[in-house]
Amino acid sequence: MSANRINLCKVIEFPVVADYRGNLTFIEENRHVPFEIKRVYYLYDVPTGATRGGHAHIELEQVIIALSGSFEVIIDDCYTRKRIFLNRPHYGLYISPGIWRELVNFSSNSVALVLASMPYDEKDYIRDYETFKKMVRERFWDESDRRVAEKISKIKNKALQITKKEGQL
């Protein structure tokens, strides 16, 4: 699976309860995201031109959501690099373990919400791209990829395929 691992990353559409008083979106673990949510954090007040992320994870799974404003997420599996534009609070980008990610081009007043499958653990981070490439070449995530593919196929909400190299919603 090494050469197409990027395809494990999916844009997920969350339910929207439309109401004249304002819309409501909800997210349930193992139903709308393919993991138990162990940590939630958000990025805000990101200065113009700043890049966030710049790492991969050994085991952690994430869903990134643009709660407000917009930004791009660059995902990279060492074979393919894609840019995903997020600007709607009812869409989230699922990122599997072993995918390099960078968040760029934040609009003014944007808020990026991140749902994570594990509590913070610095040992789970790969912050050096050369180390990441070496782990990919050694097929470090092959077994993990099979489990992730099975979990994704079981989520009950609509997972949208990212079909273009420069995907955009």
Active site residue 57: no
**pLDDT at res. 162:** 43
pLDDT in tens, 57-88: 999 999 999 999 999 999 999 999 999 999 99
32-54 pLDDT tens trace:
999 999 999 999 999 989 999 99
Q: Which of 32, 55, 57, 90 is catalytic?
A: 55
pLDDT of residue 68: 97
In 3-state terms, what secondary structure has residue 99?
A: coil
CATH class assigned to 2-157: mainly beta
pTM: 0.87
Q: Does residue 157 or residue 73 have the better pLDDT?
A: 73
Q: What are the structural domain ranges in the chain? A: 2-157
The whole-number pLDDT of residue 169 equals 42
